[in-house]
Structure 1
Amino acid sequence: MFGTYKNLLASSEAAVKTRIVHVWRNTSHIPLGRGYKEECGNNKTDIEMTLVLTIDVGSTNMKGLVINNDGKVVDRQIHEIKLYLEKRFAGHESRELLESFTFMLNYFGKKYGGSIRAIAVTTYNHSVLLADKDGMPLTRVITHHDTRAAEVEKEFLEKVDPYELYKETGAPPIFVFMPYKLYWFMRKKPETFKEARYFLFCKDYLLWKSGLITEPYIDLATASGGGVVNLKKLKYSEKVLNLLGVDENRFPGLWEGGKSFGVIPPKAGVEYGFDPDVEIILATFDGAAQNFGLGLTERDTVLNIGTTGVIRKLSRKVVLDKSLDMRFFTYYAANGLYALGGASNSGGDCLRWFRENFGHLETMAGNIIGEDPYRILDLEAEKAPPGSEGLIFLPFLTGERFPYRDPNLTAAFLGISRECGRAHFVRSIMEGVGYVIRAICDALSENSISLGEVYLVGGGSKSRIWAQILSDILGIMINVAAGGEDATNYGAAALAFNALGLADVEEFSSKWVSVKEKVAPIEKNRLAYEENYAAFVELVKLLRSIGRKTG
């Protein structure tokens, strides 16, 4: 292993220099008045550029990017968000989220406020926050990793026809969705449920309490991703309201995220330093934003390996799983498009779990040589053969959403032998995530949903070996998007420029999207993975069977 670290030392100095140049280029523009003049090399131009501020709230990071209408990043800020994990609870402190959000507004407003034309916000899906009439939180912000709702699963399913709820909302009964979580509060914490004036998401809370809007509103996409919207009527689901025994006024107002919500309130504009005619764009949820960011409005597919793993394409039609297993979702996205796909709790978070618990050596070495510990884990994984010599990882550290919809699934390594070393365990984690994505793709294929070309984004897109593993397991070409880790912010920018009437989504996206590498499946690897995938499917069935017997 130490030989691996020595090999990295030689390239680290050049890598650091490259990063310095990259950062300088991304922060070298200075706003001049309502637009700003861009300087290109030694040639000065008089082209007036328009800026939009995009803020994406993820489950572990908040990222703010200022992007111009030429598709270039002018400036960026990234804040780590602490995710609290306590037994089955998983969530954020609302105060900490709001502090990071207002920091972003203050930083970019004071620096570029005179040039920014719109503020567009995206957030992760499946958040829930109960608040009083003034928007003061009564709970922490609950994320999709929270599995407490599983405690009321049996009772919940007795109250509703699962497939009928799926037909109305596109969201099957899963512990991550808002109806499930609110039902848990109703049964387990009735005083809090009754006291709550509002059932909020994290986006409307941040927009409201930061002053960007004066009352709680949420984009249709994020509400749909929460499982509370009737897909045909684009209103709150009556089935959900009846199940919870509440009126729709307990929820935030609904808004088409692809349209401007209006200009920033005067008080907020002054406080943060923005001009009074800055438009507020509620946009969409983070996943759909990636599709818009890449310009994939009705063709091709996004595969995101971030904290979680998701495969998703946009469509003008609502398509639901014909199987009663309800193995994929259909959410509203924006501008008349729907997002079809599956989201797994298993993604980069599995590798992060390994690094935090067993990767102390990689972390220490990375700090010494100035290299990302995940890059060192990549080099480790490359030492093991495809299929990890029969070692299979079931990546269910926090239950699973799609395609299995089981909060009680747990993780396991199976097939350990004397041949298995550290490299095998690292590689099998990447492979296990790939097997879940394959299971979702199989469900989409059975419902005549064609993937087209697949574009890899998210932090996992930085890993060459993970891209190859995914290509081999899925048996398809993987297009690794250059700058794919910024696709969500670019999607928010695309919707903002479209709302401002300055560019349609595909036109804007074409200015920045490029493919860094095309990764083709290797036939001998694919055959090895076919055998392992068949075993994976059977192992999941066995694990679920054991869980039912012991649960």
Structure 2
Amino acid sequence: MKKYMIGLDIGTTAVKAVLFDAKGTYIDKETGNYPLHTPDAETAEQDPDEILGRTFEAVRLLVARNGCGDDVEFIAFSSAMHSMILLDGEGRRLTECITWADSRAQDYADRLNEGDGLEIYRRTGTPVHPMSPLVKLLYFKNEVPELYSKIGKIVGIKEYIFARLTGKYAVDRSIASSMGMMNLETSGWDREVLEMLDLTADQLPELADTTEIFAVNKNPASELGLHQETKLVIGASDGVLANLGVNAIREGDIAITIGTSGAIRTVIDAPQTDEKMRTFCYHLTPAHYVIGGPVNNGGVILRWIRDELCQQEIGEADSNGLDPYEVMTKAAVDVPAGSNGLIFHPYLAGERAPLWDSKAVGSFYGLTLSHERRHMIRAAMEGVVYNLYSVYLALREQMTEVHAIKASGGFARSEMWKQLMADVFGEKLSVPKSYESSAFGGCILGLYAIGEIDDLRDVDRFIGEDDAYTPDEQNYMKYQDVMSVYIEIGRSLEQFYGRMHELRN
């Protein structure tokens, strides 16, 4: 094997090209940012050619800065899920890149869930929700039939970029299994779904195993500064690769990620769905599947609290050269567990797991004159973790036992966040010493693809010792009392989400 490998992680708002040596040691990273266009409350689109340009630029700059163009064994791909770009028969764009956050198809998700939605979920593993390309396609079929009739190919952002590198439209089975269109048992496109959509398999990319290796074409290799023999490992989705990247690959291991959004996942050896459709089931390899739930409302909640409620903390941070979040968490850390009876439901961006309702809205409950801003900050942080814990409870029903909970994401830089999660979950929380878990997970999959490792569980030799956080028993008992109220209030409020949506519109 050559000296280096690159993990390329194409996220919702940024692409990261991450360089590792052959032993898995982090070397360098280049990030390219791009906007999410939200002209109204339901639309969430991006310019796929802008993302393509930022991706090429990130790889080119990383390679040039490290002078490693001839020494990269492979690039392994990771990508956000559920994006959709419609192309005509000549490969020209009919749409922008429609992201997972786009909710225009909510009415079609509701109608499907009133009919065959649960059965489709059982076959495909993707909850019926407007994030899903299946539901997005139903929207376009019925709302924009003239455009729909012109579809030549349906791709996501990774397939769009991959086609520019290889000249082929291919989708890995991990991304495909998050489209709501791949049958988990056959690992092929679901015939009943295609019939419902009036589509053929030819209008979809060719399915590929996550370990499949492709050749890069001469022109893009030259543009990126890479040797043309550099391998391209098609890889998987960012969520399933994050499990690999934090060494949560064994039975009973759970990975939790909180960035702008969040997710909780575990790896199993055969497809499995939830009778209440609270969790997803996505493909990693033929012997590995990932079940879990994504949440819309992670770090974005604290950002909203910062921008809308914490001007004083922002000013203090500016005066002292600090990060505003550091000032905010310092204010919240001395507030007792449970925030003096203040409960926050964090559904400011609708919600996926465990509700799967894009009309869900957030709320503070229990406000009194005794509450201060610091209570609201802590309650918001607790609300994010309560929501993840709700997904954990659903996931736990599908597991025999839990051996380890491993955390990653931007929140893992905060001591308060990590201790809070240990206290709410009542379990020891480990934070592995890994860098850019999805990109690194892609590289581990790449090493497996080229035969450098024989088993994905060999990832443990590439990751340093974990930092560990033990729950405070008294806080855990308090949070158990709060969680029962949190869940009961949440159920009571669900009946108003649709009416609140009508009031806002």
Bin the TM-score by the shorter chain.
over 0.9
1:140 aligns with 2:92: no
1:231 aligns with 2:156: no
Q: Cα RMSD over matched residues?
A: 2.0
Q: CA deviation at 1:391?
A: 1.1
Q: CA deviation at 1:80?
A: 2.6
Superposition pairs for residues 104-115 of structure 1, below 5 Å?
104-110=58-64, 111-115=67-71
CA distance in 2, matches of 1:440, 1:263: 40
Q: CA deviation at 1:359?
A: 3.7
CA distance in 2, matches of 1:63, 1:101: 8
Q: In structure 2, what is the equivalent of residue 527 of structure 1?
A: 477
User: What SS class does the counterpart of residue 406 from structure 2 fall into?
Assistant: strand
Q: In structure 1, what is the equivalent of residue 215 of structure 2?
A: 263
Q: In structure 2, what is the equivalent of residue 518 of structure 1?
A: 468
CA distance in 1, matches of 2:410, 2:438: 12
Q: 1:296 to 1:504 in 2, by over 3 A?
A: farther
Superposition pairs for residues 381-396 of structure 1, below 5 Å?
381-396=332-347
CA distance in 2, matches of 1:339, 1:195: 35
CA distance in 2, matches of 1:55, 1:370: 33
Q: Which runs of 5+ in 1 are unaligned?
A: 1-33, 36-49
1:99 aligns with 2:50: no
Contact (CA 8 Å) 1:313, 1:451: kept in 2 or not? Answer: no
Contact (CA 8 Å) 2:445, 2:456: kept in 1 or not? Answer: no
Q: In structure 1, what is the equivalent of residue 107 of structure 2?
A: 151
Which amino acid letter does the alignment assign opposite residue 267 of structure 1? N
CA distance in 2, matches of 1:60, 1:266: 29
Q: 1:134 to 1:349 in 2, by over 3 A?
A: farther
User: What SS class does the counterpart of residue 111 from structure 2 fall into?
Assistant: helix
Contact (CA 8 Å) 2:60, 2:225: kept in 1 or not? Answer: yes
Q: In structure 2, what is the equivalent of residue 11 of structure 1?
A: none
Which amino acid letter does the alignment assign opposite residue 52 of structure 2? L
CA distance in 1, matches of 2:202, 2:320: 55
Q: CA deviation at 1:287?
A: 0.9
Which amino acid letter does the alignment assign opposite residue 61 of structure 1? A
CA distance in 2, matches of 1:132, 1:360: 48
Deviations 1:186-242 (A, max 9, x none): 12222222222221111101122xx31102111110111222210011011122212
Q: 1:130 to 1:524 in 2, by over 3 A?
A: same
Q: CA deviation at 1:506?
A: 4.4
Of 236, 244, 247, which aligns to 2:197? 244
Q: 1:137 to 1:372 in 2, by over 3 A?
A: farther
Q: In structure 2, what is the equivalent of residue 343 of structure 1?
A: 294
CA distance in 2, matches of 1:403, 1:374: 27
Which amino acid letter does the alignment assign opposite residue 46 of structure 2? H
Q: CA deviation at 1:251?
A: 1.3
Length, aligned pairs only: 497
Q: CA deviation at 1:132?
A: 2.2
Contact (CA 8 Å) 1:266, 1:276: kept in 2 or not? Answer: yes
Q: CA deviation at 1:153?
A: 3.2
CA distance in 2, matches of 1:287, 1:236: 21
Which amino acid letter does the alignment assign opposite residue 88 of structure 1? E
Deviations 1:12-41 (A, max 9, x none): xxxxxxxxxxxxxxxxxxxxxx95xxxxxx
Superposition pairs for residues 395-474 of structure 1, below 5 Å?
395-474=346-425
User: What SS class does the counterpart of residue 225 from structure 1 fall into?
Assistant: coil
TM-score (norm 1): 0.86
CA distance in 2, matches of 1:403, 1:55: 29
Residue identity (%): 26
Q: 1:314 to 1:78 in 2, by over 3 A?
A: same
Q: CA deviation at 1:433?
A: 1.3
Q: Structure 1 segments of 4 or more deviating over 6 A?
A: none
Q: CA deviation at 1:254?
A: 1.0
User: What SS class does the counterpart of residue 139 from structure 1 fall into?
Assistant: coil
CA distance in 2, matches of 1:259, 1:456: 28
CA distance in 2, matches of 1:271, 1:127: 26
Q: Which runs of 5+ in 2 are unaligned?
A: none
CA distance in 2, matches of 1:137, 1:372: 41
